[in-house]
Structures are given as structure tokens and as C-alpha cells.
Amino acid sequence: MDAFIQWLNSSRNQLCEDAQALFDDSIRCYKNDIFRAAYLLAYQGVMRHLKEVIIQTKMPPKGFTPEEWGDWKRKLKNQDRWDTDVMEAVKLRPKHDGSKDGILTVNDEVRDIFNCQWRVWRNECAHYKGNTFMQAHVLVFYAFIKDHLLSISVEGGMRSLLKEFDEYFDPAMTPKNDPVRPLLKKIKTMVKPNEYREFIIEIRRLTGGAYNKSFTDIIEEIYQCCEEDFKKDLTDYIKENPDLMNWYIDQHPDAVFKLLREKTEIRRFWYEQLKFLNFPLPVLAHLLEGGYINMDEKIEAYKKIQELMYKQNRGIYDLEADYRNVLLRHGYFDYFLNNFFTKDHMRINYNEKCYKTDFYISHLRMMPVNRELAQHIIDIFQALPYPYTLRDRFVNEFMNDEGFRKEFTRVCEENGMEIPDSIIPEG
């Protein structure tokens, strides 16, 4: 009983309001020992859910013409016999030659138990026929509902749902800000587990021409609202496609923890893939803060990232303060200061440094003005040779900034340091 209540509460977003109300009433009757009513209400809840599944499926199963499918859906709107027609839909089997599917995705065993047990028990309850109806009858039915109901969909349901997604991504049919979750929540009832991979690939294809959502947006929504088995299949697919994984993590840095769990695969990711991200530092911050890069590995990781950023003259842009603080705390900028922003390093092929100023200037912007930074600045610019282009940018963007200049001057005076003439702005 408790398991059924838990299932109902966790599945409400996949059940229509009528089915939810019928199940709620069934539970109330059960708790008051009114077992026949409890069973009847649960049975009607099942039928009402299956009715909704059929009506909401736009594309007909294989072998059904649009007209025939329309007739089926119209029949289910007949208030006098809709539940009988739902049972007929359950009983309808695929043709042996494969030319026509059944309506619902149920195996023969489930079809038979619907017709020979649940329907029979329903009639016994309604007409007070047969043996005494007991608590156990209701519990058995509750267990069946919990285990099977949400896995039943219309044959061809995946294609029907893909058509709905196609319409969702069409700007002529769907406003830009319409939520996608109502469609995603249909996956459980319209897509079979053995269709998950094909469905994911098709959604990715459809988002290729979409104006309102990228595939990574859809991925993020799926992780927030879909069932665990579908999310697992999605995770496997993403991990099998490194370019997609990097694209997704680039846009959602915390996603690294959804995709990577084992220590070895996390190391392989930052060792091999982190350098391919457009924005590697937020991801690095998550890995550092989560304890996934240990003390010995930090220097190795910083070296790989900063060497690549230096080589490509990549700067740090739009780095949130929280990420900056994590990197400061874990010594990322100390590594930069002691390995790239030193007098000795600057004098090795100093002309080359003139073409790396985005790398240098953007790192310096992230660092607090303290004694260590001031000493490195003075050591580099107090005597030639040094890269003139870097010196010019430092003067224009830092020393001409009143706030930085005041703080830099204060630190130098407190520590008895003399600011070189080469970086004092003219006038």
C-alpha cells in the first residue's frame, strides 16, 4: 500500500488529473476497508490513463490509416462506453504478418491478465458476483499498476512524440518561450526503453534547425525532469560523443559531475579533454572544489591548461567571481605568477610575449594586488629586455586605472618597493 502511494505521488506529472483523482479516491476507500470501491476506482483510474495516452497520440500505429485512428479516438470520447473501448484497445493484438501493430505496447501476458483477471474482478466488484472480495485483491492490482501502467504507450508513440517535437521547434507553430517539459514528460509513456537511443539521436537532429532551444538546453531539461533510466541512456550517449560532451560541459560546467563518476574517467577528462573547452576554468573550478583533482595533480593540470592558453593567446573572459575565488584558493594564479609571469620567463624570447598579451592581461585582472604580484611586476619591468606590447597594455589598462594604481602604489610603499619609470604613465 505504501509503495503504491509513493509511486502515485512520484508519478503525478505523468498522469492526467482524472486518473490521479480516481487513484486518490481508491486509496481513501482502501484505508476505510471499502475494498470493492477501492478496486473499482483504481480500475477506472487505469482505464482513464490509457484513454488519455491514446487520445494524446497524434500519429497512428503502423497499419492504421489516419481515418481509422481518428475513429478510435472519437470512440473514446463517448461517455457511455469509453472504458469498454479502452479494453478493446488493450486486447487488440498485432497481425502475425507484421502488417499492422496493436494499439498499445503490451505483451500477450499483460493483455491476457487485463482481460481475464482485472476485467473479471472489475465485474465481480460492480455486480457483487463471485467470491468475497478482499484486501489482497486490491493490493495485487496496486502492485500491477505500479510496475506496468506507465510503461504502456501507443505503438508508434515515439514517432508521434517526435512529430510534436518537430512542431515545437518550428517558430511558425510554437512561441519562443513555450516550455519544453510537457513534451519531455511524455517520454515515459510514449517511448520504449529500446527506442531511447534512436529517440535521443532524432531529438539532436531536430534541434539542429531549432531557433528556441539547443540540444544542450534539451539535455539540461531532461536531467531535471525525466526518468532515471532515460537519463542513464542519455548519459551513455553523451559520453560516447566527446564533442557533444565538451559542448554540453562548456555551457553547463557542473554537468561534469552528472557525466563522470569514476576517478579514472575524471582524470582522463581533464588530462585529455579540458583543453578543448572554450571555457575550461569554470569546469576546473568545479573539479578542484569537489576534490576530484588532488594536490599532486593540481600542478599537472595547471601546467597543461596554461601552456595551451599561452600558446593560443587565450584570455579569461566572463569568469564568475565564485569560480575566480576557487581558483585563487587552490593556487591556480600562483602557478601563473611563478611560471609565466617572471623576469626569467619574460626574457626568454621576449618578442614572442608581445603576441601573448591577452593571456597575460586577463590573468592579471583576476589577481588581487599584493606583495607577491607587485614584486613580479617590478622585477619584469625595471630593466630591459621586456615585451614592449605587454608593457604598453599594462600601463594603459592597469596603471591608468585610478583604483589599481592607488592600490599598487600603496602595496609598493608599504613594502619599500620602487615603481619602475617604465610603467609610470606620462603626465
DSSP 119-183: HHHHHHHHHT-SSPP-HHHHHHHHHHHHHHGGG--BTTHHHHHHHHHHHHT-TTTS-TT--SHHH
pTM above 0.85, yes or no: no
Given a cut of 90, whether residue 193 has pLDDT beyond it is no
Prior bond of 193 cis (ω within 30°): no
Confidence of residue 157 (pLDDT cuts 50, 70, 90): confident
Confidence of residue 151 (pLDDT cuts 50, 70, 90): confident
- The pLDDT, as a whole number, for residue 266 is 92
pLDDT tens string 42-78: 999 999 999 998 998 888 888 999 999 999 999 998 8
- The pLDDT, as a whole number, for residue 155 is 72
Rounded to whole angstroms, the Cα distance separating 156 from 172 reads 26
Instruction: Give yes or no for a contact between 314 and 308, defined as CB atoms under 8 angstroms apart.
Output: yes
- The pLDDT, as a whole number, for residue 427 is 63
- The pLDDT, as a whole number, for residue 31 is 95
- The pLDDT, as a whole number, for residue 131 is 63
Comparison of pLDDT for 2 and 390, the residue scoring more: 390
- The pLDDT, as a whole number, for residue 130 is 58
- 83-112 mean pLDDT: 87
- The pLDDT mean for the chain works out to 91
